[in-house]
Amino acid sequence: MRSYATRHAGDGQTKLLIDPGHNRTRLGGPDAPLDPRESIPAVVDVLEAQAGAPGLQFLDRRGETVPW
């Protein structure tokens, strides 16, 4: 993603990587602490809040920066 963002740095597009957290899905398993019905609306809120922000960001479902 960093390479892609570097190659397209001047396009003015928003580029986001989102960590939705450990959700109860087939991948996350039945013991995961988050229900997707709760975490996905938070992810959508982050997407909407970041719309139009240029560059690349790696954020969690609360909109906080995730360290690379």
Q: What is the pLDDT of residues 54-66, one digit of tens each?
A: 899 999 999 999 9
pLDDT of residue 68: 81
Provide the 3-class DSSP secondary structure of residue 41: helix
User: Hey, which residues does 59 pair with through a beta bridge?
Assistant: 18, 65
Chain segment 32-52, per-residue pLDDT in tens: 999 999 999 999 999 999 999
Do residues 61 and 17 touch, judged by C-beta distance below 8 A?
Answer: no
The model carries a pTM of: 0.85
